[in-house]
Chain A
Amino acid sequence: MTSLVWLTILFPLLGAVINGAIAIRRPEAKGLVSLVGVGALLGSFAVAIGIFLEVLAGDGTATRVLLWQWMPVTERLSIDLTLQVDRLSTVMLLVITGVGSLIHLFSVGYMKSDPGYARYFAYLNLFVAFMLVLVLGASLPVSFIGWEGVGLCSYLLIGFWYEVDANSDAGKKAFLANRIGDFGVLMAMFLLWWHVGTLDYDGLARQAPEVLAYAGAPVTLIALLLFLGCTGKSAQIPLFTWLPDAMAGPTPVSALIHAATMVTAGVFLVVRTGVIFSLAPVAMEVVAITGALTAFFAATIALRQNDIKKVLAYSTVSQLGYMFLAVGTGAWAAGIFHLVTHAFFKALLFLGSGSVIHAMHHAQHAAHAHGDAQDMRLMGGLRRAMPWTFVLMGIATLAIAGVPPLAGFWSKDEILAAAFVRGGGNTIYLVAWGLGLLAALMTAFYMARLMAMTFFGRFRGGDTLEPHLHEAPAVMTGPLVVLGLLSIVGGVLNLPGFAGGSHYLAHWLEPVTDATLPYLDRLEMPHGMTELLLVGGAITIALVGLALGMWTTLRRPVLTPAATPAATGLARVLEGKYFIDELYQKVFVGPTVWFSRRVLWQGIDQFLVDRMGVGGTARVAKGLGWLGSRLQNGHVALYLTLFVAGVVLLMRAVIGGAP
């Protein structure tokens, strides 16, 4: 079965081709599209389960499947298209195909009336194919194919409703931010090739420690460049601004790409190249503190957002920050653990919000009203109309807030514990731990606020809409239920000792992560009193945050957009997202545009190339032509004179000397 791993990629790829063809020839054949689109994912998921069972029975050694020689340039430089099935890629494989299947299923309901239905599923299938290439690749270049491919699909899907300028602009923004990151990955690959001479994950794990000095400049530079790529792909400071804008795409896309899978690729890459990171302690610190800062700042922004998807977007950025905090401390398993649980509950949250938006949109449509279907200030009291969505989103909220025994609690707790342990010897990690703790509080707060504004209180969208609100169809709630169950029980994957578990996932991943052990201080997880104090603190923070969020939101009626006074002070800063976009606009975009317009376009292109180069050539030719036409004036006498002059010159050439 393992040798058939390429089937998991082939199915969605074929699905993309077929759906793409349908999108061009017969876009109205939605039944066929659903069959192909969802079927491809289910097939791929089935293969993934087969592989998983095989890996489960195996001893943890990686299986490498050579598909073909991709670039056999020389003996030394030969890049093969090899897939690697080990325990890490199996986890990712399951998450991507599993959650992917659920989201595909959900999309059948969500996108039902969209004219671009076939195109949507073509893109979505293509995305899954590329994502699987990314996680299954056995070397950096192969993973980079997927890395770029998912970026492309992300761009296509963010700008899916490209008729609206803002959507395609958001797509472009995501693409550009990712480009900066890709530059880092490419440079890191070049440097690795230069220093180590291989780009294979196996080869890197074996040879990098021999070639690269511990904490040396080259390995630090390589790790930081790789991390630059991760900040782009996984929306970390400073390249996080694209992810909130990416919510312009359809909501299932946000769930699949911008919450569950693609944005976690950065975390995956750090774990995959863990050896290199563990050789560069400075880079590890940078990763951890960047993650913590991102977690903190994104959480503060989420506090004041009114767009339901924007809240979830900043929440995603914040949770990704947690994952980087985890891998920055060397707690690889904790990072992957949080990646998996986050995939469950964040996908659930996004799909739940999709269900809400779907309901709002249909209600507006039925009532012939127009309004923002995503503004929480126009929602409220939806729990009566949408009990299933309400319950399931409630579960997800408890999970992300960190209420035991739901999935999010275990993973987040482990990350914070790891940061706390590292903080004992390094202030940076202590600061990161503090930031993570504050972010946890705010996470609980903003999620409670989201729930309160959406599902509690009175409906604020207008009386005409209210009768039209109803629960989503079963094809949409079904995946929600599955994700809800996973969000509840996801924690058993890696239960800590005090809860009767044995860190199963951590041990499961050991064949992959053990290569880093010699270069990291052993992470002694707290025991006894300290552990219980930490856990108790985390639970307290989660509950306090939830309670505060509910209370402050429901204390007084939520104002509709029209009645909301302009925010002031800190609230204004948070609502304005710290004006990071404006800052980037001023510092980077503005000067770049100015430079492009004034210097490159008007200066070089218009003046130098067009006026001087092209126009100048034309003018010179015209001038020469004018001179020539003066000569060609029809007077035989002049011709004779010139003729004699030519003879004189010829004579001079023949006999030489003067004159």
Chain B
Amino acid sequence: MDLVTPVFWVFAGWSVVSAVLCITRRNPISSALWLVSTMFALAGIYVLLDAQFIAAVQVIVYAGAIMVLFLFVIMLLNVGDAPREWRRWPVGLLGVGLAAVLGAQLMMLGGYGRQRLADEFSTQPAPVNPALVFPEGMASAAAVAERGVVGAVAEPLFTAYLIPFEITSVLLLTAVIGAVVLAKKKL
């Protein structure tokens, strides 16, 4: 417990620095690599949040597969350093301003304290199953303790979320076909 919080902050700092570098590097390959770095940091945080399976998938699928795809495309297109990578200043400034405002708004969501969340649940006609609400924040840990790291995720995925899961497979199939159609010069 004592160790978790400092480690969390280390990972948090790591991820933020990586993200900043990701969006500021001119070279897209640098950006992609810093994004991979961010993802590793996030995977660490997932472990701290009792989501070990997600952390693994993050590293394998996200950082491994998806980002490799990005790097592959970058290298395929051979896009080097852009001479003028940034937007011109009025548009850029507008973007920075908008992002700042949005960030501030997201931070304000912190105003959604625990009490308020509880209030909203209590006022909703059909609240989430109260058994699933763990005010102490031990839901993930409890599930892991009960069904193991993979089983904790697999149990809801193949029961409550079975139909969305199957639909997701259709989505992936569609994406595969779409990607082939788009990328191929001639079918």
The CB with the most chain A CB atoms within 10 A, among B87, B108, B109, is that of: B108
Q: Is A533 an interface residue (CB 8 A)?
A: no
For residue B101, give the distance in angstroms from its CB to the closest CB of chain A: 5
Pairwise interchain contact A648-B87, C-beta atoms closer than 8 A: no
Within 8 A of B (CB), among A610-659: 637-638, 641, 644-645, 647-648, 651-652, 655, 657, 659
For residue A459, give the distance in angstroms from its CB to the closest CB of chain B: 100
Pairwise interchain contact B105-A637, C-beta atoms closer than 8 A: no
Query: With A655-B108, A655-B109, A657-B108 as given contacts, are A647 and B102 in contact (CB-CB < 8 Å)?
Result: yes
Which A residues are in CB contact (< 8 Å) with B109? 655
A645 CA to B101 CA, complexed, in Å: 9
Query: With A637-B87, A637-B91 as given contacts, are A655 and B105 in contact (CB-CB < 8 Å)?
Result: yes
Within 8 A of A (CB), among B19-78: none
CB < 8 Å: which of A638, A645, A659 contacts B104? A659
A248 CA to B54 CA, complexed, in Å: 104
Pairwise interchain contact A648-B101, C-beta atoms closer than 8 A: yes
Pairwise interchain contact B91-A641, C-beta atoms closer than 8 A: yes
Pairwise interchain contact A641-B101, C-beta atoms closer than 8 A: no
A219 CA to B78 CA, complexed, in Å: 104
A648 CA to B94 CA, complexed, in Å: 13
A638 CA to B88 CA, complexed, in Å: 12
Q: Is B98 an interface residue (CB 8 A)?
A: yes
A644 CA to B100 CA, complexed, in Å: 11
Which B residues are in CB contact (< 8 Å) with A637? 87, 91
Which B residues are in CB contact (< 8 Å) with A651? 102, 105-106
Q: Is B95 an interface residue (CB 8 A)?
A: yes
A659 CA to B98 CA, complexed, in Å: 11
Instruction: Report the count of interface residues on A (CB-CB < 8 A).
Output: 12
A651 CA to B98 CA, complexed, in Å: 12
Q: Is B7 an interface residue (CB 8 A)?
A: no
For residue A642, give the distance in angstroms from its CB to the closest CB of chain B: 10
Per-residue CB contact flags for chain B residues 109-145 toward chain A (1 = under 8 Å, else 0) read 1010000000000000000000000000000000000
For residue A196, give the distance in angstroms from its CB to the closest CB of chain B: 70
Q: Is B99 an interface residue (CB 8 A)?
A: yes
Q: Which residue of A lies closest to B100 (CB)?
A: A659
Pairwise interchain contact A644-B102, C-beta atoms closer than 8 A: yes
CB < 8 Å: which of B87, B98, B106 contacts A644? B98
For residue A636, give the distance in angstroms from its CB to the closest CB of chain B: 12
Q: Which residue of B lies closest to A657 (CB)?
A: B108
For residue B181, give the distance in angstroms from its CB to the closest CB of chain A: 21
For residue A301, give the distance in angstroms from its CB to the closest CB of chain B: 85
Instruction: Report the count of interface residues on B (CB-CB < 8 A).
Output: 14
For residue A651, give the distance in angstroms from its CB to the closest CB of chain B: 4
Query: With A641-B94, A641-B95 as given contacts, are A648 and B108 in contact (CB-CB < 8 Å)?
Result: no
For residue A659, give the distance in angstroms from its CB to the closest CB of chain B: 6
CB < 8 Å: which of B94, B95, B105 contacts A659? B105
Pairwise interchain contact A645-B98, C-beta atoms closer than 8 A: yes
A641 CA to B94 CA, complexed, in Å: 8
A655 CA to B106 CA, complexed, in Å: 10
A648 CA to B111 CA, complexed, in Å: 17
Which B residues are in CB contact (< 8 Å) with A657? 108
A655 CA to B102 CA, complexed, in Å: 12
Which B residues are in CB contact (< 8 Å) with A659? 101, 104-105
Q: Which residue of B lies closest to A644 (CB)?
A: B98
Which A residues are in CB contact (< 8 Å) with B102? 644, 647-648, 651
Which B residues are in CB contact (< 8 Å) with A652? 105
Per-residue CB contact flags for chain A residues 490-520 toward chain B (1 = under 8 Å, else 0) read 0000000000000000000000000000000
For residue B131, give the distance in angstroms from its CB to the closest CB of chain A: 29
For residue B171, give the distance in angstroms from its CB to the closest CB of chain A: 23
CB < 8 Å: which of A638, A641, A655 contacts B98? A641
A451 CA to B108 CA, complexed, in Å: 110
Per-residue CB contact flags for chain B residues 161-183 toward chain A (1 = under 8 Å, else 0) read 00000000000000000000000
Which A residues are in CB contact (< 8 Å) with B95? 641, 644
Q: Which residue of B lies closest to A655 (CB)?
A: B108
Q: Which residue of B lies closest to A635 (CB)?
A: B91
Which A residues are in CB contact (< 8 Å) with B94? 641
A648 CA to B95 CA, complexed, in Å: 12
Q: Which residue of B lies closest to A659 (CB)?
A: B101
For residue B152, give the distance in angstroms from its CB to the closest CB of chain A: 32
Which B residues are in CB contact (< 8 Å) with A648? 98, 101-102, 105
Which A residues are in CB contact (< 8 Å) with B91? 637-638, 641
Within 8 A of B (CB), among A452-509: none
Which B residues are in CB contact (< 8 Å) with A645? 98
Which A residues are in CB contact (< 8 Å) with B111? 655
Which A residues are in CB contact (< 8 Å) with B108? 655, 657
Which A residues are in CB contact (< 8 Å) with B106? 651
Per-residue CB contact flags for chain B residues 143-165 toward chain A (1 = under 8 Å, else 0) read 00000000000000000000000
A637 CA to B99 CA, complexed, in Å: 14
For residue A631, give the distance in angstroms from its CB to the closest CB of chain B: 14
Within 8 A of B (CB), among A3-35: none
For residue A640, give the distance in angstroms from its CB to the closest CB of chain B: 8
A641 CA to B98 CA, complexed, in Å: 8
For residue A266, give the distance in angstroms from its CB to the closest CB of chain B: 82
Query: With A637-B91, A655-B109 as given contacts, are A644 and B99 in contact (CB-CB < 8 Å)?
Result: yes
Which A residues are in CB contact (< 8 Å) with B104? 659
For residue B112, give the distance in angstroms from its CB to the closest CB of chain A: 8
A637 CA to B92 CA, complexed, in Å: 10
A657 CA to B108 CA, complexed, in Å: 10
Q: Which residue of A lies closest to B112 (CB)?
A: A655
Point out residues on A near B: beta carbons under 8 Å: 637-638, 641, 644-645, 647-648, 651-652, 655, 657, 659
6 contacts between A and B (CB under 8 A): A651-B102, A651-B106, A655-B105, A657-B108, A659-B101, A659-B104
New contact pairs (14) apart from A637-B91, A641-B98, A648-B101, CB-CB < 8 Å: A638-B91, A641-B91, A644-B98, A644-B102, A647-B102, A648-B98, A648-B102, A648-B105, A651-B102, A651-B106, A655-B108, A657-B108, A659-B101, A659-B104
Point out residues on B near A: beta carbons under 8 Å: 87, 91, 94-95, 98-99, 101-102, 104-106, 108-109, 111
Shortest beta-carbon contacts, A-B, top 5 = A651-B105, A644-B98, A648-B101, A648-B102, A659-B101
